[in-house]
Amino acid sequence: MNDTIAVVGGGISGLLLARTLRERGAKVIILEKSRGLGGRLATKRVGGVVFDQGAQYFTAKTPRFAALVEAWRSQGVACAWPEASTHRSIGKPSMNALGKFLAEGLDVKREAKVLSVRRVDKMWDVEVENQPTLRVDQLALTAPVPQSLALLKAGNVELPAEVAVNLASLRYHPCLALLVTLGGASLVPVEGMVFSEGPVRWIADNVKKGISPAGAAAVTVHLSPAFAAEHYAKSELELFPMIEPLIAPWLGAPVVNVALHRWKFSEPITVFPEPCVWLDELGLGFAGDAFGGARVEGAALSGWALADKMGA
Ligand SMILES: Cc1cc2nc3c(=O)[nH]c(=O)nc-3n(C[C@H](O)[C@H](O)[C@H](O)COP(=O)(O)OP(=O)(O)OC[C@H]3O[C@@H](n4cnc5c(N)ncnc54)[C@H](O)[C@@H]3O)c2cc1C
C-alpha cells in the first residue's frame, strides 16, 4: 500500500487499526486530541494516587483478542485483576499503559485535535487545531460516532443517504466518574462491586487492584447512565453529597479529596450491525466500539476489521 492514511483517534480501535495498516506498508499518522493515548482506557493521577477512570478491565471472548491479551500479559503490559473470580485483565501498571504500548513505533500526533475533514481532489484535507492542514489519501474516523460526524459536517462532507441515517442513529450513554481519595484503607471488595440499581453502577479500589500505591485508598465510583444523564453538568461538590450516603458502607476511612471526570460518550447504547464502515468511493472508514461491540474487545475487533477493508 502506498496510500497515506490519517487515523483520527488514539483509542484502542485507532491504535490497532494504525498498527495493522503500518505492518502492511501503509504510511499512517494518528491524530489524537488528548495528551495521553488509549482513549477510554484512561488513568488519572491525583496527588500521589492513581485511578483508572474509564474502562476498569477487559475480557476476551474471541481467539484473536484472547491471543493479543495473552501477548500483552507476557510482554508485561497487562495482568489479571487480583483475586477476581471472573477472567478479567487489566493494564499494567494501569489501563493507559496499553495505549502507550500500542503507540510505540507509530507516527502519533498528540494534542492534535481535528476540527474538520474535507474532500478535496479525491483526497482528504484534515484540519488540525493550531497545526498545518494535512492532506492524505484515506481517512479513518475512530472517535465516538457523533464526534466523527461533526468533523464531516464541519467539512461539508455528505455521506451516502443510508449510511448517514444509520450512523446518525447511534447514541451513547454518558457516565460520571467520581475519583475519591481516602485517608486509609477502604472496605471495597478486591474485585470491585457492581450495583444492580440506583445512581451508583460500579465501585473499585485502585490500591487493591494493584495500580495505586498502598496508603491512601483511591476509589473509582461510576455513576449509572440514567443518573449521569440527569446530573451531567453538576460539579463534584454537588454530586458527592448525593452519592456519599450510598457508598458510605464501603468507604471505611475519611474522604480526603473528590475529583470528577465526565464521559459524554461512555458506551454505545446500540451497536452497528457491521464491525466497521468502509466507503471505498470516498476513501473513508469508521471504527470503534459502536461497530465491534460496546467493550474494549469490540473496539479492538472493529479496528482490525477496518484495517482489512482499507488494506484490501
Ligand atoms: C466509564 C467507562 C467504563 C468502562 N468500563 C469498561 C469495562 O470495564 N470493560 C470494557 O471492556 N469496556 C469498558 N468501557 C468501554 C471501553 O472503554 C470502550 O469500549 C473502548 O475503550 C472504546 O475504544 P475506541 O477506540 O472505540 O474509542 P475511544 O477509546 O473513545 O477512542 C477514541 C479517541 O478519539 C479521540 N478523539 C475524539 N475526537 C477527536 C478529535 N476531534 N481529534 C482527535 N482525536 C479525537 C479521543 O480523545 C479518543 O482518544 C468503559 C468505558 C467507560 C467510559
- Residues 135-153 have pLDDT tens digits of 999 999 999 999 999 999 9
Number of domains in the chain: 2
How many angstroms is it from 144 CA to the middle of ligand 1? 8
Atom of ligand 1 nearest to the CA of 142: 32
Q: Sort strands 123-128 and 114-120 into parallel, antiparallel or unpaired.
A: antiparallel
| Ligand 1 centroid distance, CA of 266 (Å) | 7
Could you give the CA distance from residue 144 to residue 267 in angstroms, rounded to a whole number? 9
**The pairing of beta strand 277-279 with beta strand 255-268:** unpaired
Domain annotation covers residue 228: yes
Instruction: Please give the distance, rounded to the nearest whole angstrom, from the Cα atom of residue 257 to the centre of ligand 1.
Output: 26
The CB of 288 under 6 Å from ligand 1? The reply is: yes
Return d(Cα 159, Cα 50) in angstroms, integer: 42
Left (φ > 0), alpha (ψ -120 to 50) or beta: where does 192 sit?
A: left
Residue 219 Cα to ligand 1 middle (Å) = 20
* Number of the ligand 1 atom closest to the C-alpha atom of 113: 42
In a domain, 56, yes or no: no
How many angstroms is it from 102 CA to the middle of ligand 1? 15
Q: Is the CB of 170 under 6 A from ligand 1?
A: no
Whether the link from the prior residue into 82 is cis, omega within 30° of 0, is: no
Verify that 111 and 204 share a domain, yes or no.
no
C-beta of 40 in contact with ligand 1 (< 6 A): yes
pLDDT at position 1 is: 63
108 and 9, same structural domain? Answer: yes
**pLDDT reported for residue 82:** 87
222: domain CATH number?
Answer: 3.90.660.10
Which residue's CA is the nearest one to ligand 1's atom 19? 295
Which residues in the chain come in under a pLDDT of 70? 1, 84-86, 312
- pLDDT, position 85: 63
Same domain, 143 and 219: no
238-246: which pairs have CB atoms within 8 A and are 24 or more residues apart? 239/176, 239/178, 240/178, 240/180, 242/199, 243/178, 243/199, 243/200, 246/195, 246/198, 246/199, 246/200
Looking up residue 137, the CATH number of its domain turns out to be 3.50.50.60
For residue 9 and ligand 1, the question of a CB distance below 6 A is answered with yes
User: Beta-strand (E) ranges in 129-237?
Assistant: 134-136, 138-141, 172-182, 193-194, 200-205, 218-223
Show the cell assigned to 129.
Answer: 487545531
Residue 269 C-alpha to ligand 1 middle, in angstroms? Answer: 14
Residue-level pLDDT at 311: 72
Residues 127 and 143 in one domain: yes
Assess whether the C-beta atom of 33 lies below 6 angstroms from ligand 1. Answer: yes
In a domain, 65, yes or no: no
- Residue 134 belongs to what domain range? 4-42+94-170+273-310
Q: Are residues 137 and 181 in the same domain?
A: no
Domain co-membership, 213 together with 139: no
In a domain, 79, yes or no: no
Q: 89 lies in a domain?
A: no
What global pTM score does this model have?
A: 0.97
Q: Is residue 298 part of a domain?
A: yes
Ligand 1 centroid–CA 230 distance in Å is 21
Residue 264 resides in a domain: yes
Q: How many A from CA of 121 to the centre of ligand 1?
A: 32
Burial of 120 (0-12, 13-18, 19+ CB in 10 A): exposed
Residue 59: inside a domain: no
Of ligand 1's atoms, which has the minimum distance to the CA of residue 299?
26
Q: Would you say the CB of residue 147 lies under 6 angstroms from ligand 1?
A: yes
Which is the closest atom of ligand 1 to the Cα of 58? 11
Best residue among 13, 33, 40 to mutate for probing ligand 1's pocket (most ligand atoms within 8 Å of CB) is 40
